[in-house]
């Protein structure tokens, strides 16, 4: 079968990197307690992922008439897994050296689920409220990586089936939009529960963000903006950015009215429209500003920065060096950024660019060695004694939507935990706990 459409390779759009940078900045500020609705940056990440991945799949389908699924999954594994593996090993060692027994115990319990790319369903199955208990989980933020990976496994199959032949782009768009609506209905139904963890972390309930991005990558949607003038695009982008910024500033966590009844869907839809506009007119004023040096460089580091920031936030004392509030945030963000730069330059880029040691037999040997080393680290770390530092999750520190903390000092000394305003994961929570930076004798 011949190509379904003439699909030249798209030029790299710096503004989309800039959007990644804005999204990861929102998440970091939210987890530090400074941006009430910054967890919505997760939806922007998801929409971007759906847009970029679907665009690549459709281009491949258009050039050769088929999608090489194994090669696609290999590229995704090269992009995601090396940095993730290094972060998990490093975090386990740091937790062993500096964390209290609760953080270490949960990290060891969660690590195999992280390796299986299904930690989101692990958290759901535990029936522990994500929004108020994830401060005890060093890998709480990896739920969204699991959602993306699960999407990468299933969606290429749908594109390969729906995208073949004439009208393939239109069919892919219809499948994506239909799936997004089903996902929205599931979120509305499940989001009415007292504990919204299932609605927030479920792959099915969060799929609408990825699928809206996927629909935005198809020709019918992209063609809809080709006739717009540069001025119209710039004005539209400014309005959409103002709307997204207002949502990040004003949304007050899981209790925000309408959040699970269409609020996140509306945010994702606005993100998808913004992405289509920026991809269609990347040299407009909005595209040049969003794609300027600082947000673009931050976006290029966003994956590693996201991986490292939450363990840093939980393991770093607060206050540190006499600094709290914004001073602590600057130090924590700086350490996270440093770890991200090291990860990108020593792990991500060599594997992605296929340097000599990462290709051929050397590459497979490196994969095998990394897997054995990771399993060895996980197995070798002593497990804390049962009952040491047990946390009553029903009494965990909780923050109000504006980040103010409720007192839980009576538990701090007994459990080696300190209440803090940060929130976990790309989605966040209404309160997190940070362990004091000292080693416990228990279980060592």
Look up the domain containing 39 and give its range: 14-386+395-435
- On whether residue 3 sits in a domain, the answer given is no
Residue with the larger pLDDT of the pair 302 and 413? 302
What is the bridge-based pairing of β-strands 432-435 and 417-420?
A: antiparallel
- On whether residue 5 sits in a domain, the answer given is no
Residues in the chain, total: 444
pLDDT, tens digit (0-9, with 9 covering 90-100), for 232-247:
999 999 999 999 999 9
Three-class secondary structure of residue 73 per DSSP = helix
Asked if 442 contacts 384 with a C-beta cutoff of 8 angstroms, the reply is yes
- On whether residue 165 sits in a domain, the answer given is yes
What is d(CA 139, CA 137) in angstroms, rounded to the nearest whole number? 5
| Residue 62 token pair | 């258009």
In DSSP notation, 196-228 reads -HHHHH-HHHHHHHHHHHHHHTSHHHHHTTTTS
Asked if 424 contacts 135 with a C-beta cutoff of 8 angstroms, the reply is yes
In DSSP notation, 120-162 reads HHHHHHHT--HHHHGGG-TTGGGHHHHHHHHHHHHHHHHHHHH
pLDDT, tens digit (0-9, with 9 covering 90-100), for 25-70:
999 999 999 999 999 999 999 999 999 999 999 999 998 889 999 9
Percent of the chain with pLDDT over 70: 84
- On whether residue 86 sits in a domain, the answer given is yes
In DSSP terms, 419 is beta-bridged to: 433
Give the C-alpha distances (Å, rounded to integers) separating 216 from 16, 149, 212: 13, 20, 6
Report pLDDT for 388. Answer: 55
The lowest-confidence range among 1-10, 92-101, 328-337, 343-352 is 1-10
How many domains is the chain partitioned into structurally? 1
Report pLDDT for 404. Answer: 35
Give the C-alpha distances (Å, rounded to integers) separating 388 from 84, 94, 102, 123, 384: 29, 19, 8, 22, 7
Give the C-alpha distances (Å, rounded to integers) separating 409 from 141, 437, 440: 25, 16, 19
- On whether residue 223 sits in a domain, the answer given is yes
Report pLDDT for 61. Answer: 93
The pLDDT of 173-187, averaged and rounded, is 98
- On whether residue 7 sits in a domain, the answer given is no
Asked if 444 contacts 108 with a C-beta cutoff of 8 angstroms, the reply is no
Q: How far is C-alpha 416 from the geometric centre of its chain's CA atoms? A: 28
Report pLDDT for 225. Answer: 85
The lowest-confidence range among 30-39, 131-140, 179-188, 331-340 is 131-140
User: Which band of pLDDT confidence, cut at 50, 70 and 90, is reported for residue 126?
Assistant: confident
Asked if 218 contacts 276 with a C-beta cutoff of 8 angstroms, the reply is no
Give the C-alpha distances (Å, rounded to integers) separating 254 from 191, 251, 260, 353, 438: 10, 9, 8, 40, 32
- On whether residue 301 sits in a domain, the answer given is yes
The pLDDT of 372-377, averaged and rounded, is 90
- The number of beta carbons lying within 10 Å of the beta carbon of residue 226 is 8
Handedness of CA 121, 127, 131, 134 (dihedral sign): negative
The shares of helix, strand and coil residues in the chain, as percent rounded to the nearest 5, are 70, 5, 30
The lowest-confidence range among 237-246, 405-414, 427-436 is 405-414
- On whether residue 180 sits in a domain, the answer given is yes
- My answer on whether omega of the bond before 325 falls inside 30° of 0, hence cis, is no
């Amino acid at each position: 079968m011949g190509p379904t459409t003439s699909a030249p390779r798209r030029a790299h759009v710096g503004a989309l990197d800039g959007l990644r940078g804005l999204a990861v900045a929102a998440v970091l500020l939210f987890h530090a307690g400074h941006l009430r609705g910054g967890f919505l940056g997760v939806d922007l990440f998801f929409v971007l992922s759906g847009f970029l991945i679907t665009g690549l799949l459709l281009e491949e389908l258009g050039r050769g008439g088929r999608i090489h699924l194994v090669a696609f999954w290999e590229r995704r594994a090269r992009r995601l897994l090396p940095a993730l593996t290094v972060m998990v090993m490093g975090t386990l060692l740091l937790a062993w050296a500096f964390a209290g027994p609760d953080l270490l115990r949960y990290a060891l319990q969660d690590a195999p689920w992280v390796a299986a790319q299904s930690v989101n369903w692990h958290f759901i199955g535990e029936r522990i409220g994500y929004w108020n208990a994830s401060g005890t989980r060093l890998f709480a933020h990896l739920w969204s990586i699991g959602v993306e990976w699960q999407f990468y496994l299933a969606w290429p199959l749908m594109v390969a089936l729906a995208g073949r032949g004439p009208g393939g782009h239109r069919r892919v768009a219809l499948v994506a939009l239909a799936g997004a609506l089903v996902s929205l209905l599931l979120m509305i139904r499940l989001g009415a529960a007292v504990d919204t963890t299932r609605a927030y972390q479920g792959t099915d309930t969060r799929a609408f963000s990825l699928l809206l991005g996927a629909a935005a990558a198809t020709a019918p949607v992209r063609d809809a903006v080709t006739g717009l003038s540069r001025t119209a695009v710039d004005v539209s982008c400014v309005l959409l950015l103002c709307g997204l910024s207002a949502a990040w500033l004003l949304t007050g966590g899981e209790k925000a009215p309408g959040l699970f009844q269409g609020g996140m869907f509306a945010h994702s839809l606005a993100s998808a429209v913004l992405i289509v506009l920026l991809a269609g007119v990347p040299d407009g004023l909005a595209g040049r500003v969003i794609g300027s040096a600082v947000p673009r460089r931050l976006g290029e580091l966003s994956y590693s920065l996201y991986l490292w920031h939450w363990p840093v936030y939980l393991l770093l004392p607060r206050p540190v060096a006499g600094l709290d509030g914004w001073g602590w945030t600057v130090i924590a963000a700086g350490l996270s950024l440093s770890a991200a730069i090291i990860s990108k330059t020593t792990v991500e880029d060599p594997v992605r660019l296929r340097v000599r040691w990462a290709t051929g037999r050397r590459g497979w040997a490196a994969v095998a060695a990394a897997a054995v080393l990771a399993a060895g680290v996980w197995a070798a770390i002593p497990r804390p004694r049962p009952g040491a530092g047990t946390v009553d999750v029903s009494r965990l520190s909780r923050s109000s939507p504006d980040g103010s903390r409720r007192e839980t000092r009576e538990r701090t000394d007994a459990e080696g935990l300190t209440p803090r305003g940060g929130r976990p994961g790309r989605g966040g929570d209404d309160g997190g706990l940070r362990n004091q930076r000292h080693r416990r004798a228990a279980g060592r």
